[in-house]
Structure 1
């Protein structure tokens, strides 16, 4: 059973573990501190719980990841950018697909949003597939749109990104 909920202080240990895993953070935003500390996790929980657009993902009673939306401003106030991650031990179980489904339904039904989008690193095939299963379509490829440092060499790596979007039905 997959549930979306607020964060709890009991999630701190898992937040730190998951967000210090290079495979989990490989393609997600560089805004997440590295290394990720207990202080970072406590800050995040306080911040997240003040927003209706940030939810913890729970699977069979265990905290396994996070999903969020950043709502646009002005003429973009009816659309939001989706973001999510899940702990490696929970990959390939359909959890992320179901969490995205539940969160999109929530956003469309309760927040008057018309469009959701994600800019996902093209090499992140699993994430692209999660989005496609939920009705997102590729609107285009953003060439060399993001840059991350290679965790081993420290050299810059540029990634193409697929701009995936879904419009409320």
Structure 2
């Protein structure tokens, strides 16, 4: 398996639409509509182009040449020294270690390029696989509840 994190381009609305229409929306919250319309994908990609490298790092998760997910770390508006990680993966590709490797790669990129000191991740407690992605990447659980909060520090 060859895993790559590719850049989003303004013409990739069909890719993000396909990904977000083939993920489990049980744990996505209410901010991501289903079905995901391409018009929102166009708007989102314009936003990504403006923020890439300065306010966040946004990547397509590519496995053996196929676009199967999305992962990003974005600076928090209220504290730009903290990044927040978010990710999703098409259901057919889950439980193969893909997101664990993608998380490792993007955290390294974020610490190298975003001038942040920590990355947090918020995960529904019931989403055991997503919790494990963060735990395998040395995030520490700092808040329990229906939503768990994890943190990973730059130097530890």
> Which TM-score band (shorter chain)?
0.7 to 0.9
Kept after mapping to 1: 8 A contact 2:76/2:82? yes
- Equivalenced residue count is 150
Judged with a 3 Å threshold, the aligned counterparts in structure 2 of structure 1 residues 9 and 63 are, in CA distance, closer, same or farther, namely: farther
Structure 2 gap ranges (5+):
none
**TM superposition score normalised by structure 2:** 0.85
1:163 pairs with 143, 149, 152, which one? 149
* CA-to-aligned-CA distance 1:59-88 (integer Å, 9 cap, x gap): 1111111112231245x2211111110111
Judged with a 3 Å threshold, the aligned counterparts in structure 2 of structure 1 residues 116 and 125 are, in CA distance, closer, same or farther, namely: same
User: How far apart are residue 10 of structure 1 and its match?
Assistant: 6.2
Please name the residue that 2:111 is paired with: 108
* CA-to-aligned-CA distance 1:135-154 (integer Å, 9 cap, x gap): 00111214xxxxxxxxxxxx
Please name the residue that 1:20 is paired with: 21
Looking at CA atoms only, which structure, 1 or 2, has the larger radius of gyration? 1
Structure 1 gap ranges (5+):
143-159
Q: Secondary structure at the match of 2:19?
A: helix
Aligned partners of 1:19 and 1:38: how far apart in 2?
Answer: 10
- 1:143-158 → structure 2 map (5 Å cutoff): none
**TM superposition score normalised by structure 1:** 0.79
